[in-house]
Amino acid sequence: MFETDERMVTIDEFYSNILNNTREINIYLPPSYFKSTDKFYPVLYMHDGQNIFDGKRAYAGVGWMVHETHDELVKRGLLRELIIVGIDNIGHDRLSEYAHFNGRYKGERINARGRLYEGFLIEELKPVIDKNFRTLAGPEDTGLMGSSMGGLVTFNIGFRHPDVFGRLGIISPSFWWSTQENIKTIYMNQDAIENSRMWMDMGTREGSLDKSFDKVVEHILSLYDSSKGSIEAHWIIGAAHTETDWQRRVHWPLIHLFGLD
């Protein structure tokens, strides 16, 4: 099941009974993993796994290089060592799996499968990771991160399950998709605001995404008590909706979510 290339472990075909499909999973292990054999590590799950590492399989040929950024931040004493799990998207099913509510895209009706994808993460993938690697499995040590539709699904899963994912990286989220439903999700799951650590951001060159971002974040912050939670929301000057821009700033959410105190 597992293929290992030093600190990158690949599961070529991870089958989901819930989704009835198969995808590649890549698990990046921290620098001390094979030396400190009694040490357990926080875990960061990331959507669009093709895009987050070296970019060889990335949509636009550019990866986030999150593993290199991680190692550099660890070296500088700014970040806890993490296990990073890259979860491939399923091409044509990406929109439906990352949406919790039905919608339309370029004239095509998209039937939401976000709750099924959520079940896949929580009931199928996470137990395998916790069983086979030395993880700290509680919500305070488990993160979820994604951009665009990956940011949207991070928001929905994170708000619905703060008991599982207590660290949320919501990057350039596609809040335009079912904006009013997203706002309802906030009020139905207010405990996530108090119990989760969140990073939310949007670039100033991401077109019409700005309006929905402002609407949703305004409601989150209206319920936020800084004495009980830890939420950062930022506009990134000059940033566009690209893998290159997310690569350039991934260190910020990493440090906020898993930085050393």
Q: Name the helix (H) or strand (E) containing 32.
A: none
C-alpha to C-alpha distance for 9 and 34, rounded to whole angstroms: 13
Give the contacts of 224 (CB within 8 A, at least 6 positions apart).
193, 231
C-alpha to C-alpha distance for 147 and 235, rounded to whole angstroms: 14
**Is the model's pTM score more than 0.95?**
yes
What is the reported pLDDT for 5? 67
What is the reported pLDDT for 1? 65
CA angle 12, 18, 20 (to 5 degrees): 55
**SS3 for 163?**
coil
What is the reported pLDDT for 4? 66
Q: If the chain, 261 residues long, is cut into consecutive pieces of 10 residues, what is the mean pLDDT of each piece?
A: 80 98 98 96 98 89 96 98 98 96 91 98 98 98 98 98 98 97 98 96 95 97 91 97 97 97 74
What is the reported pLDDT for 106? 86
What is the reported pLDDT for 3? 64
What is the reported pLDDT for 229? 81
Determine phi and psi for 143, rounding to 5 degrees.
-115, 160
What is the reported pLDDT for 199? 98
C-alpha to C-alpha distance for 45 and 58, rounded to whole angstroms: 17
| Domains of the chain as residue ranges with CATH | 3-258 (3.40.50.1820)
